[in-house]
C-alpha cells in the first residue's frame, strides 16, 4: 500500500523554529535549480537539476517512486505553514519496495545552513518511518554515505543518531575521496 502524507511537523524549541516537511510543488522549481547551482549539492545528487525541464522530469520520477514504494523525497520548510518556500530536501530510497534497508540523502540551500535544519528534519523522517503512518512494507535500517571531506554531512548524521559504521575506499574517477557510511537501526 502506498504511503500517504500531507506533511510532517517538527515542533519549535526555545532555540529553533518549527519546521514542516512536505511533498514538492511546482512553485519549488526555482529553489531546486538554485540549490543545484551549488557544486556541493550537484556533486552529491543522482541527477543534476540545473534547469526547469530537468526538475519537471525529476518530479515525475518522484511521483513514480512514491507510488512504487521506492522513493520518498520531502521538502523542508521553516515554520508550520506548508506553503512556505522550500529550503532543503530529505530523500529516502530503496532499490525495491520490499527492501528493508533504505538510503538517505539531504541538502539545505547554502544561505540557510548552520541552523540544524537538516538533522532535525532527518530525525522527523526517522520518526515517520517508524510510525503507524508508514507503509506496510517496513524499513528496518537507514544508511547514508558521504565523502570523507564532507564534515557537515558527517555532523548531520551524528546529530540524527546515525553512527559511523564503516569507511569506504576512494574509487576514482567517480569517487576521488574516501567516504563514510553511517547507519541507524529503526
Ligand X SMILES: CC(C)(COP(=O)(O)OP(=O)(O)OC[C@H]1O[C@@H](n2cnc3c(N)ncnc32)[C@H](O)[C@@H]1OP(=O)(O)O)[C@@H](O)C(=O)NCCC(=O)NCCS
Q: What are the residues facing 184 on neighbouring strands?
A: 142
**What whole-number distance in Å separates Cα of residue 92 and Cα of residue 139?**
10
Asked if 152 is part of the footprint of ligand X (rule: CB under 6 A), the reply reads: yes
Binding ligand X by CB under 6 A: which of 22, 94, 146, 180? 146
Binding ligand X by CB under 6 A: which of 20, 70, 108, 124? 108
Altogether, the residues listed in the chain come to a count of: 186
DSSP label at residue 136: S
Strand order in the sheet with 19-22: 7-10, 19-22, 71-78, 86-93, 101-108, 141-147, 179-185, 163-168
Cβ nearer to ligand X, comparing 40 with 71: 40
Q: Which range, of 25-33, 101-109, 132-140, 164-172, touches ligand X by CB under 6 A?
A: 101-109
Cα separation values, 65 from 43, 60, 69, 89, 172, Å: 22, 9, 6, 16, 29
Binding ligand X by CB under 6 A: which of 3, 7, 18, 115? 115
Q: Which range, of 24-32, 128-136, 154-162, 169-177, touches ligand X by CB under 6 A?
A: 154-162
Residues 15-74, interacting with ligand X (CB under 6 A): 40-41, 44
3-state helix, strand, coil in the chain (%, to 5): 30, 30, 40
Binding ligand X by CB under 6 A: which of 24, 58, 107, 162? 107
Binding ligand X by CB under 6 A: which of 5, 33, 84, 113? 113
Where does this chain bind ligand X (CB under 6 A)? 40-41, 44, 105-108, 113-119, 144, 146, 150-153, 155-156, 159
Amino acid at each position: 500500500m502506498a504511503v500517504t502524507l500531507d506533511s510532517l511537523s517538527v515542533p519549535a524549541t526555545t532555540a529553533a523554529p518549527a519546521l514542516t516537511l512536505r511533498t514538492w510543488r511546482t512553485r519549488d522549481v526555482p529553489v531546486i535549480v538554485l540549490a543545484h547551482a551549488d557544486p556541493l549539492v550537484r556533486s552529491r545528487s543522482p541527477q543534476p537539476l540545473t534547469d526547469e525541464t530537468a526538475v519537471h522530469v525529476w518530479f515525475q520520477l518522484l511521483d513514480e517512486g512514491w507510488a512504487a514504494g521506492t522513493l520518498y523525497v520531502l521538502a523542508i520548510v521553516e515554520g508550520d505553514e506548508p506553503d512556505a518556500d522550500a529550503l532543503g530536501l530529505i530523500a529516502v530510497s530503496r532499490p525495491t519496495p520490499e527492501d528493508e534497508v533504505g538510503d538517505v540523502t539531504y541538502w539545505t540551500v547554502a544561505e540557510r545552513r548552520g541552523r540544524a535544519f537538516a538533522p532535525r528534519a532527518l530525525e522527523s523522517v526517522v520518526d515517520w518511518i517508524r510510525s503507524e503512518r508508514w507503509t506496510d512494507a517496513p524499513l528496518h535500517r537507514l544508511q547514508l554515505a558521504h565523502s570523507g571531506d564532507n564534515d557537515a554531512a558527517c555532523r548531520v548524521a551524528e546529530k540524527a543518531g546515525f553512527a559511523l559504521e564503516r569507511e569506504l575506499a576512494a574509487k576514482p574517477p567517480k569517487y576521488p575521496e574516501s567516504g563514510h557510511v553511517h547507519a541507524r537501526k529503526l
